[in-house]
Amino acid sequence: MASLVLGIETSCDETAAAVLRRESDGRGHILSNLVLSQTQDHAPYGGVVPEIAARAHVSHLDGLIARAMSEAGLRFEDLDGVAATAGPGLLGGVIVGLTTAKAIALAHDKPLLAVNHLEGHALTARLLQPCAFPYLLLLISGGHTQFQIVAGVGRYRRLGTTIDDALGEAFDKVAKLLGLGYPGGPQVERQARAGDPRRFDFPRPLKGRRDCNFSFSGLKTAVRETVHGLGSLSPQDVADVCASFEAAVAETMADRLRMAVALFREAHPEVARPALIVAGGVAANLKLRSVFEEAAAAHGFDLIVPPAALCTDNAAMIAWAGAERLALGLTDDLAVAARARWPLDQNQPPAYGAGKLGAKA
């Protein structure tokens, strides 16, 4: 059966609301998709301040939901379900979104879908095109860096994760060190274009290891030491540091991808041509994009990178994960609690430092 679902996202510094329809054959249609970024509110502090984020969600969410519903041409009575991020993320913000969803669900007698934000990222590709389970997911955002085998809705196996910083976080820290703005990823990428990737020989963390975990703190330290050693930086120095950092990341990602595709093949020899899905803000990086393209081509995977607006935090992905869960009857009780931590693969032990509280998901 087709379903109309409202999605709400408030787990970090974006207030977002979206409405979509999932057809009975599994196709998705976005009817509205609104994101209000709080970047300006947090910029003076150099990072996301949880209390400011939660208050901003309270101020903006109701109005944003009203706009999303009106753009979709629907009333709450028309909905088949109300989905909201229930974690992981900044608890104050998650509570704002989840409580709002509960209120709408209760008032209009609709099913509630308490969505794992990471499941939103993991399932987005299926909103845009048919994409059969199982597939390999690489999630690279400001808060997460992980490989997952997505075997089905609610069925995940983590192949690797970061043991310290997330990849987006590493880009942001390098940008900060060089006095470039926040978020740093796009600035580092722009600078790198004019730089020499061979000038600095930064480490390639965990290269050659027989797993597909990540570690970026040693690389970050090496960049910091180089920058301090240079003293005052010329524009060429900045460009060369960025290009050399990006080259180290690209080589590391190529190495980790080799391991991940091998582990996927081992786990699912029956899948002739699997998909490799890359999600999260760092997927926008063109140098890394070429690494993913090469790896996919070399190992017989179809690369799918959802468009940036659906790759970075948004509510359409939450509505979609909710619609997928609704289609399977996986609805939630109104008593469900918000969770600061919520790994997709509950069977894996947490990696030290990964999915830090307060980090973006």
Q: Which residues bind ligand KG4 (CB under 6 A)?
A: 141-143, 168-169, 171-172, 183-186, 189, 280-282, 284-285, 312-313, 360-361
Cβ-based nearer residue to ligand KG4, 171 or 342? 171
Partner whose binding site includes residue 237, from Zn ion, ligand KG4, none (CB under 5 to 8 Å by kind)? none
The CA-based angle 247-173-35, given to 5 degrees, is 100
**Across the strands, what pairs with 160?**
147
At its nearest, how many Å lie between Zn ion and the CB of residue 90?
12
At its nearest, how many Å lie between ligand KG4 and the CB of residue 184?
5
Cβ-based nearer residue to ligand KG4, 87 or 280? 280
Partner whose binding site includes residue 254, from Zn ion, ligand KG4, none (CB under 5 to 8 Å by kind)? none
Are the C-beta atoms of 179 and 149 separated by less than 8 Å?
Answer: no
| Half-sphere exposure (Cβ direction) of 21: Cα atoms closer than 13 Å | 12
At its nearest, how many Å lie between ligand KG4 and the CB of residue 288?
7
At its nearest, how many Å lie between ligand KG4 and the CB of residue 313?
5
Q: d(Cα 34, Cα 314) in Å, to the nearest integer?
A: 8
At its nearest, how many Å lie between ligand KG4 and the CB of residue 246?
8
- Residue whose Cβ sits closest to Zn ion: 361
Cβ-based nearer residue to ligand KG4, 82 or 188? 188
Length of the chain (residues): 361
Are the C-beta atoms of 334 and 108 separated by less than 8 Å?
Answer: no
Antiparallel, parallel or unpaired: β 155-161 and 145-152 = antiparallel
For tokens 């190495």, name the residue: 255
Residues 6+ apart with CB under 8 A from 244: 195, 196, 197, 198, 199, 200, 201, 202
Cβ-based nearer residue to Zn ion, 164 or 313? 313
At its nearest, how many Å lie between ligand KG4 and the CB of residue 312?
3
The closest of 310, 312, 308, 329 to 320, measured between CA atoms, is 310
Q: Which helix (H) or strand (E) holds 146?
A: strand 145-152
Cβ-based nearer residue to ligand KG4, 183 or 353? 183
Q: d(Cα 127, Cα 22) in Å, to the nearest integer?
A: 8
The CA-based angle 181-13-326, given to 5 degrees, is 140
Partner whose binding site includes residue 61, from Zn ion, ligand KG4, none (CB under 5 to 8 Å by kind)? none
Cβ-based nearer residue to Zn ion, 200 or 320? 320
Partner whose binding site includes residue 185, from Zn ion, ligand KG4, none (CB under 5 to 8 Å by kind)? ligand KG4
Partner whose binding site includes residue 281, from ligand KG4, Zn ion, none (CB under 5 to 8 Å by kind)? ligand KG4
At its nearest, how many Å lie between Zn ion and the CB of residue 361?
4
Which residues make up the interface to Zn ion (CB under 5 A)? 141, 313, 361
Cβ-based nearer residue to ligand KG4, 7 or 281? 281
Cβ-based nearer residue to Zn ion, 33 or 141? 141
Segment 332-335 long-range contacts (CB within 8 Å, at least 24 positions apart): 332/86, 332/111, 332/112, 332/113, 332/114, 333/112, 334/102, 334/105, 334/106, 334/112
At its nearest, how many Å lie between ligand KG4 and the CB of residue 69?
25
249-287 CB burial, b ≥16 within 10 A, e <16: bbebbbbbbebbbebbeeebeebeebbbbbbbbbbbbeb
